[in-house]
Amino acid sequence: MGWLEDRKALITGASRGIGKAIALLLADEGADIAFTYRSASAAADETLKAIQAKGARAIAYQSDAKDLASTEKVVNAVVAEFGRIDILVNNAGITRDRLLVRMTEQDWDEVIDTNLKSAYNFCKAVWRPMVSQRRGKIINVASISGVVGNPGQTNYSAAKSGMIGLTKTLAKELASRNIQVNAVAPGFVATEMVEQLDVSQVSTLSALFPIKLIAQPEEIAELVLFFASPVSDYITGQVLPGMYD
């Protein structure tokens, strides 16, 4: 039996990258998986089949994570299908990188809404079912950019910093209901998003890391598993960052 036997998990933005790695690992540990994707239907179908191949129940929902009504529909559908939601992983995110002087209002709004408002939406939507069952785990995928900043990413860094504040505050609001809220803040991870960074951004952030390595999505998934599992039941409001000086 795995650490998450009979647990029900909802993961946002899990058609590929870190989200997909999280979905597969949690399924390996016994969880049934519901996940959302925005537009990558072919990738979502591939992820769905990979989860099912592990023997887990799996459902994929096409959803706009930054729209509260859409979010509530997803959560209601998952509860109707699985009976409950034990684990929520807020992973949905995008980048629109450029210096602030060149950043458009649309660049700002899209990143804040997709990365930060989506976390608010899903946390708000799972509040009632988790409180009713008096048990739950919420894990937010932030970023080291939200801890130390990164030139060209004022929107992304602000959104991820906001996720950290959300994590710490919501942890206090839900502690008495036996719901733990934590976050991971990865550095560079081998995903399509990191491949979009320019050389100067990579150089700036790389200089902060004593270990000059790019993490694999599966390594970040292991951190999420720790927070999702019973071994972290006495930990809440914490942020596990990528290593830096």
DSSP assignment of the chain, as one string?
A: --TTTT-EEEESS-SSHHHHHHHHHHHHTT-EEEEEESS-HHHHHHHHHHHHTTT--EEEEE--TT-HHHHHHHHHHHHHHHS---EEEE---------GGG--HHHHHHHIIIIIIHHHHHHHHHHHHHHHHT-EEEEEE--THHHH--TT-HHHHHHHHHHHHHHHHHHHHHGGGTEEEEEEE---BSSHHHHTS-HHHHHHHHTT-SS--PBPHHHHHHHHHHHHSGGGTT--S-EEEPP--
Task: Write the single-letter amino acid at 118.
Answer: S
Catalytic residue among 37, 61, 120, 156: 156
Catalytic site includes residue 37: no
- Supply the Cα-derived Rg of the chain in whole angstroms: 17
Tokens of 33: 């998986």
Active site residues: 156
